[in-house]
Amino acid sequence: VALLLLLALCNAIKIHGEESNGLCDVNLTLRSRPHSVSILEFGAVGDGKTLNTIAFQNAIFYLKSFADKGGAQLYVPPGRWLTGSFNLTSHLTLFLEKGAVILGSQDPSHWDIVEPLPSYGPGTELPGKRYRSLVHGYMLRDVVITGDNGTIDGQGSVWWEWFTSHSLNYSCPHLVEFVSSESILVSNITFLNAPAYNMHPVYCSHVHIHHITVYAPPGSPYTVGIVPDSSDNVCIEDCSISMGHDAIALKSGWDEYGIAYGRPTANVHIRRVQLQSFSGSSLAFGSQMSGGISNVQVQQLHLYDSLTGIEFRTTKGRGGYIKEIAISDVDMLNIKTAFGANGHFGSHPDDKFDPDALPLVAKITIQNIIGTNISVAGNFTGIEESPFTSICLSNVSLSINSALSSPWQCSYVSGFSESVFPEPCSELNNPDASSSCFSLLKPNGRAAVL
């Protein structure tokens, strides 16, 4: 064990250099943690049957004492380590060796119960409290979850059954969640079978997620890969995500609760990712977006075998905004609807929402897109009282596999298009709207209008 600890990578986040072409171009270097222990030293047994929650809790409690001494690493060797939910601490690296699998217990009593998030009011699936995530962080700084492609497996099948049969006592847990934390790095890990979300940074800043693989089977209800939620300065790159519902979904709170909390998701950079979504969208914005979503740069996506490729979702009562979004260099294959913008999507947490809280959807540019075996090019359905504006399409070529009279459907939307095939609807073909098309111009990482 001592030899393995010496050989293991002990990582911490150090950021230097200037932004060049986006948040993902910030230069990250990894330095060694001065202290490292193995989960074996705390009595853990990796047989897939022994419950190791106390071992994880004790190990992290011990490592917390090194927070002001450069931080520490918890090393998880090969084995199947069954556990209930546990908390991380600041200045910590959780390192999963190749062949190491952290297994989420299928006994709900092994998952802690916590209050709903304030920006979601009474809760999501059920009103009231929720199950805490398997791996959890609250008000932390400088945390790394990494390894030699170790695995965190939520064993979510029982949760999916309880969800579909309406037998849950509380809202489903996520696999990894950070709340009100900053300087988070997640890399070189496989996530499997989350009960709900796999990676959920909420109210966080400076989150870097790269080289992770995320999977849940097609029938898993409302499983989502990565969900930046009321968080800023987020980079997601070089990931492969295949989900039952959405692959990546950006959110920022629900109706009056998200409006009151008032924390947007902003300054997000997504690039070089492969996304698949069985019943949702490969890349989704909303529908819970009441705190606002803005300044998002998306590049070099491969979207495949999905219900929808890219979708913007909202409804009356949401308030908030989705604006200043630039998406480019996307390859789509076997997608039912390539692009969607829906102003009548999703439900409300309760009857206290303000129907006059109208969302703003504007300044969205989509360019350099190739799509093969697409059924519907686009369905843009805005809100009569608050139409979607400045939707700009450029250099888009879609191979349509259906005999629809019109592969585009538009209402209460306006914008500009250039070099788009098949020809978009007239609402998106206004030359006067070209001046309001949006792009993210670098090197300073600031957004600008073309």
Quote the pLDDT of residue 151: 98
Mean pLDDT by 10 residues, the chain (450 residues): 36 38 73 92 98 98 94 98 98 97 97 97 90 98 96 98 94 97 97 98 97 96 97 98 98 97 98 97 98 97 98 98 97 98 95 95 97 97 97 96 87 96 94 79 40
Cα atoms found within 13 Å of the Cα of residue 161, Cβ hemisphere only: 6
Provide the token pair at 171: 């809202």
The gap between the terminal CA atoms of the chain, to the nearest Å, is 57
The two three-digit tokens of residue 386, written as one number = 């608050």
Of 281, 286, 238, 283, give the one whose Cα is nearest residue 265.
Answer: 286
DSSP 145-178: EEESSEEEE--THHHHHHHHTT--SSBPPPSEEE
- The three-class DSSP label of residue 382 is coil
DSSP string for residues in 120-136 = GTT-SSSSS-EEPPSEE
Distance CA 229, CA 177 (A): 10
187, β-bridge pairs:
210
Distance CA 174, CA 112 (A): 12
Q: Taking Cα atoms as reference points, which of 129, 65, 139, 136 lies closest to residue 102?
A: 136
Alpha-carbon 312 to chain mean position: 14
Q: So what's the pLDDT on residue 447?
A: 40
How far apart, in whole angstroms, are the C-alpha atoms of residue 242 and residue 282?
9
- The single-letter code of the amino acid at 87 is N
**Distance (Å, whole) CA 424 – CA 330:** 18
Half-sphere exposure of 153 (CA within 13 A, CB side): 18
What's the pLDDT at 378? 97
Q: DSSP for 301-317?
A: EEEEEEEEEEEEE--TT
Q: Which residues contact 403 (CB under 8 A, 6 or more apart)?
A: none
Q: Strand, helix or coil at 116?
A: coil
| Cβ atoms < 10 Å from Cβ of 432 | 8
CA separation (Å) from 227 to 178, 248, 253, 283, 305?
A: 11, 6, 12, 10, 20
Q: Is the entire prediction scored with pTM above 0.85?
A: yes
Q: Which amino acid type is present at position 124? A: T
Which residues touch 432 (CB under 8 Å, ≥6 apart)? none
* Residue-level pLDDT at 28: 67
DSSP 117: P
Which residues lie below 8 Å from residue 303, measured CB to CB, with a gap of 6+? 274, 275, 276, 282, 283, 309, 310, 330, 331, 332, 333, 335
- Judge if the upstream peptide bond of residue 287 is cis by omega within 30 degrees of 0: yes
pLDDT in tens, 190-211: 999 999 999 999 999 999 999 9
Gap between the Cα atoms of 103 and 111, Å rounded: 12
| Span 14-57, pLDDT tens digits | 433 333 357 888 766 667 899 999 999 999 999 999 999 999 99
Joined together, the tokens standing for residue 111 give 């998952």
CA–CA distances in Å: residue 36 to residues 64, 70, 150: 12, 11, 17
Strands 130-131 and 113-114: antiparallel
Q: How many residues does the chain have?
A: 450
Instruction: State in words which class domain 40-438 has.
Output: mainly beta
Torsion of CA 353, 263, 186, 271, to 10 degrees: 90
Would the CA dihedral through 170, 174, 177, 179 be positive or negative? negative
Strand-strand pairing, 13-16 and 27-30: antiparallel
Question: In 3-state terms, what secondary structure has residue 53?
Answer: helix
Find, among 45, 65, 67, the residue nearest to 55 by Cα.
Answer: 45
CA–CA dist 400, 421 (Å, integer): 10
